[in-house]
Structure formats: structure tokens, C-alpha cells
Amino acid sequence: MKRYAIVLAAGQGKRMKSKLYKVLHPVCGKPMVGHVLQTVQQVNCERSVVVVGHGAEKVRAYLQDAAEYVLQEQQLGTGHAVKQAKELLGAEEGSTIVICGDTPLVTSETLENLLKLHESSHAAATVLTAHMDNPKGYGRVIRGEDGSVLRIVEQKDCSPEEDAVTEINTGTYCFDNKKLFAALDSVTNQNAQQEYYLTDCIGILKQAGETVLAYQTDDYAESIGVNDRLALSEAEGFMRDRINRLHMLNGVTIIDPASTYIGADVTIGSDTVLYPGTVLKGNTVIGEDCVIGPGSDIEDSVIADGASVKHSVLCSAEVGSRTTVGPYAYLRPGAKLGEDVKVGDFVEVKNATIDNGSKVSHLSYVGDAKVGKNVNIGCGAITVNYDGYNKSVTEIEDDAFIGSNVNLIAPVKVGKGAFVVAGSTITHSVSDNDLAIARQRQENKPGYAEKMRARAIAKKNNKS
């Protein structure tokens, strides 16, 4: 049976009190609508239609061609929103998931179980429900004496008896596609909100003698719809716990999960250890047997097996096997470190490659550079890559030695095995195996320091 999905993402989200459109607020680094769309794709939905409204262009820009789109120009309720997809999906045969774009915690496992129950029972509709001790604000699932679903009643329309029900509608459904759009034609806005409720389809289908079922999830967190910053924080906490748990079950050691943040799209190999204060974001990939942290912030970076990163910041960088970074290093976009490289304390690397076995141990800047194998760059050495108008490249070939406090004024090349003496400012290329020295010759003046002190004291006494 073919499967489809309709993702409701047209609401403005006024309670978020934000310039950012609601479904684009991130949970563990990924916008909520991204979580939802990924989940429905994991249950093999052939087509996914996202209903957009406020902020439509920004949602399209984020999701791009991962979905089809329909526009809900007026916000007239969930039933009205789903009806906008009729032109795209109305003639299709199969099962259609309807899900809100602000419910990022629904899992693919739960959706698959919902679909299996729905499809095996040939139901017209199946509702995803959850038990909630304090169901305020949620629609109630009203069952008959035989346990079947009779209807769903929104909070504002509940009688006192209905208000006491603790089984809530999560806002996620599975419908027979054609029966869904047929039922939507009978939905009215005769209710407290004067909106067209999708939930009315349940009663309509039931009255028509159709089978309506419910699947109750064991994890009430999946029911959380994010409507304000408090709910966003709650969803973030649940998602972070879920992500950390998954990594630990896959063989990653997290010393203190409560102080460790791992984004939704991060990949980590087994036997890697994460120390407290570690933040991993974006599409970061970390290999096996690595040591990360404490206090490291890593985004969109690739770290190979056996590498170590301590107290450092990495953004769009690559770190080779067994390479050590930090403490207090900064790898900016385009930094590519080979194997067995050492980048030490207070070193900054930007748009530069440092090949296998090379060392930049402390207090240096390497930008717009190509550094070969087994190169030593001394303390305080920098590549001077910017002249105020253009950026130029520095090349340091294999086995070269760059002394402390050297300035390499790009564009410049230091050849294989060359030696640049400490304190030099290099403006011309250095050939293979040459020694370069570019500093003023030292001159010592006997006894002159004593004369300087005497003059200083005399000057001070005259002022007093």
C-alpha cells in the first residue's frame, strides 16, 4: 500500500514571540519541521506535502526539494489546512499520515506501528494518542464502551465529563487517503473557535460506519507540540536525552550526559569518550577511539579515529587520525589537519592544510597556507596572509623548520628542509635546505644600561 504524508506548517506561532517562524525553531540543532519531515520519510512515504502559510518562503528555502508545498493563505483551522493538499493528493489510493510540523519528538518507530495497525485493520482513520496526567490544552479522545474511538473533542468544546478524560489526541493521524478528503467536505466551523477542525473527520467517519482506531504511544513526550519557549525547552531536553542515550547504547562514553550537547545529525564512533561541556553541532562526524573535551565546541567538522580535541573550537574543519588539537585552539573553516599532527594551545588555523606529522605547538596563526609533512612551526610564528585588500597563500614544504616569532609575508614559499631563524620576517621565498635569517644584526653597547638608568633617575628627581 502506498503511503503519503501531509505536514501542517502554516501557523504563525504568536506565542513563541519570535521573529523566527515557529516550525523553523531548532531542537537539538535542527528546525522542528526538519525533524518531522525526516521522520515521515523514514516510514517510506512516497510523497510528502508541507502546508505552508506564514513564513512560507523561509520554510521552502530550508526544506528545498525534500517536499511538495501547498499554501494556506488564511488560517481557518487544521481541517482547512489539510484540504489545501487535495489537488495534489486527493485522487491517490493509500494511507496518509497527517502530522504537525511543531511535533519534533514523534519517532519513526511509533509512526510505523501506527501505520501497521491502520493498514492491517483496513481502518478509515487511526489516531495517535497518549496518556497525560494533566491534559490541559489537548483534545480528548472519547471512546465507546467497547473501547473504539467515537470522536475527538477539543479542549474548549469539552463537557465536564469529557474534560476529565486523560487520553489525549497528539495531533498525528493516519487516514485512508480518499476517505480523508471525502470527510473534509463535510467539516463545518460550528464550534467555539469557528474553525474547521481536522478532528471532526473522526466523528464523520464513525457516523458513516467506518472503522476508527487509536494507537497509544508509551512515551507521552511524543505528544508535545511546541507553541512557546517553555515547550521548546522541554522538547529540547527530551530530544537531548534521547540522542545521548542512543550514542551511549552504540558504544560512546559520555562522562556527564547532563552537560553534554549533541546535535541531531552528529555521528560518533564507538569507544570515543566525551567529557563534560562538549558541544557537537551540525553534520559533525567523529570516528572511533577519540577523546573530545572537556569544553570543546565542534560544528560541521570531521574528526578521524584516535584524534583528541580539548578545550577547543572547531568549525567546518577536518582532523586526521591520531591528531591532537588544543587546549584552546581554534580551527576555522577550511582547516584540514593530516594524521599525527599537533595543534597546541592558542593556535588558530584558517583555510589551511597541515600535512602528516607536522606541529604547530603554541601561540601561532596559520591562515591561507599549505604546510607539508613533518614541519615544525615555532611559538608565535604567523603567516601574514592579508595586505588589507587581498589574501595570499604561504607554502611550507616537507621537513622545514620555522623558528619562533617568524613572520611569513605571503605570497611566499619555504622549501623542503629549509630553516627559518627565529625572529625573522620573510618576504622572499626560501629554497630547499637553505637557512633564512631576516633580522637586524644585534649590537651591544658596553655600560650603556647603567647610563640610561642614571639619566632616568636624574630626570625623575628634577621633576620632583
Task: Please tell me whether 350 is known to bind a ligand.
Answer: yes
Are 127 and 214 contacting, i.e. CB atoms less than 8 angstroms apart?
yes
Task: Please tell me whether 77 is known to bind a ligand.
Answer: yes
Q: What is the DSSP letter of 245?
A: H
Task: Please tell me whether 244 is known to bind a ligand.
Answer: no
Backbone angles phi, psi at 205, to 5 degrees: -65, -40
List residues bridging with 145 in a β-sheet.
Answer: none
- Alpha-carbon dihedral angle through residues 129, 135, 138, 143, given to the nearest 10 degrees: 50
CA–CA distance, 353 with 203 (Å, rounded to integer)? 65
Task: Please tell me whether 169 is known to bind a ligand.
Answer: yes
Task: Please tell me whether 13 is known to bind a ligand.
Answer: no
> Helices 32-42 and 108-120: crossing angle, nearest 10°?
50
362 is catalytic: yes
What are the grid coordinates assigned to 371, written together? Answer: 604546510
Mean pLDDT, 10 residues at a time, over the chain (464 residues)? Answer: 96 90 96 97 97 93 97 93 96 97 97 97 95 87 86 88 91 97 94 88 93 92 93 97 98 98 98 98 98 98 98 98 98 98 98 98 98 98 95 98 98 98 97 95 90 90 80
What are the grid coordinates assigned to 370, written together? Answer: 599549505
What are the grid coordinates assigned to 442, written together? Answer: 644585534
Q: Which of these, 144, 145, 157, lies nearest to 199 by C-alpha position?
A: 157
Confidence at residue 87, expressed as pLDDT on a 0 to 100 scale:
96
3-class SS string, 114-165? HHHHHHHCCCCEEEEEEECCCCCCCCEEEECCCCCEEEEECHHHCCHHHHCC
Task: Please tell me whether 345 is known to bind a ligand.
Answer: no
Q: Which of these, 104, 84, 90, 92, lies nearest to 40 by C-alpha position?
A: 104
Using alpha carbons only, how large is the chain's radius of gyration in Å? 32
Q: Tell me which of 25, 131, 362, 428 is the catalytic residue.
A: 362
Give me the CATH topology for the region 3-223.
Spore Coat Polysaccharide Biosynthesis Protein SpsA; Chain A (3.90.550)
CATH 2.160.10.10 domain span(s) along the chain: 251-436
Q: For residue 253, how many other CB atoms are within 10 A of its CB?
A: 13
Q: Which CATH number is associated with domain 251-436?
A: 2.160.10.10
Rounded to 5°, angle at Cα 339 from 337 and 343 = 50
Are 314 and 331 contacting, i.e. CB atoms less than 8 angstroms apart?
yes
Task: Please tell me whether 140 is known to bind a ligand.
Answer: no
List residues bridging with 142 in a β-sheet.
Answer: 151
Task: Please tell me whether 330 is known to bind a ligand.
Answer: no
Task: Please tell me whether 365 is known to bind a ligand.
Answer: yes
What are the grid coordinates assigned to 271, written together? Answer: 569507544
Confidence at residue 193, expressed as pLDDT on a 0 to 100 scale:
83
CA of residue 344 relative to chain centroid, distance? 27
- Residues 6 or more apart in contact with residue 71 via CB below 8 angstroms: 10, 51, 52, 53, 56, 84
CATH 3.90.550.10 domain span(s) along the chain: 3-223
CA–CA distance, 41 with 67 (Å, rounded to integer)? 10
209-212: Cβ within 8 A, 24+ apart: 210/123, 210/124, 210/125, 210/179, 211/121, 211/122, 211/123, 211/124, 212/123, 212/124, 212/125, 212/126, 212/127, 212/148, 212/149, 212/150
Confidence at residue 133, expressed as pLDDT on a 0 to 100 scale:
87
Confidence at residue 433, expressed as pLDDT on a 0 to 100 scale:
97
Backbone angles phi, psi at 253, to 5 degrees: -90, 120
CA–CA distance, 165 with 172 (Å, rounded to integer)? 18
